[in-house]
Copies of this chain bind each other. A is one copy, B any other.
Amino acid sequence: MQVWRIWKSVLTNSFWYSEKITLAPFPRGFHLITDVIVRELPQIRKLEVGTLHLWLQHTSASLTINENADPSVKTDLESWFNHTVREDSSYFTHTYEGSDDMPAHIKSSLLGCEVTIPIHQGKLQLGTWQGIVLGEHRNQGGSRRIVATIQGLEGKTD
């Protein structure tokens, strides 16, 4: 983790925070990372109101929101994407980085590389069943980097 800086105003209670988070390598598939993100960013607890923006700096992985409970949802997500974005598509021309590469680029654009989550009274306003999910679409994706940007208004009591 590379903390960039905390910016605060003493005149107002305006707050900005930015940090680059490096994730340990994940195997191909969908992985819940809510706990990792919340643990890395205790600054969320300071905010009365605000937003957390997460930006994955890659084009062959993705960030999405999906169910945080039953692991079969993540397995079926992986199955559906593999059936729908097929590695053996005969019309692919971008093939020299491996048969998993071009499908990974397509999945990354379908799912997106960012989420913006509202913050209220020190907590991410995720629904009961919502979790932050990393989609690793390469066979050997390696570690992945996320730029986290928190902004909002600081509360009085934290």
Contacts and interface: CB of A to CB of B under 8 A. Distances in A.
B129 A58 contact: yes
Contact of A49 (B5, B129, B153): B5
Interface string A121-158: 00001111110010000000000010101011100000
A105 B147 contact: no
Contacts of A149: 49, 51, 118
Interface residues of A, number: 67
9 contacts: A9-B14, A16-B50, A53-B118, A57-B125, A58-B127, A66-B105, A73-B102, A80-B89, A110-B110
Interface of A: 4-5, 7, 9, 11-12, 14, 16, 18, 48-51, 53, 55-59, 64-67, 70, 72-73, 75-77, 79-80, 83-85, 89, 91-94, 102, 105-106, 108-118, 120, 125-130, 133, 145, 147, 149, 151-153
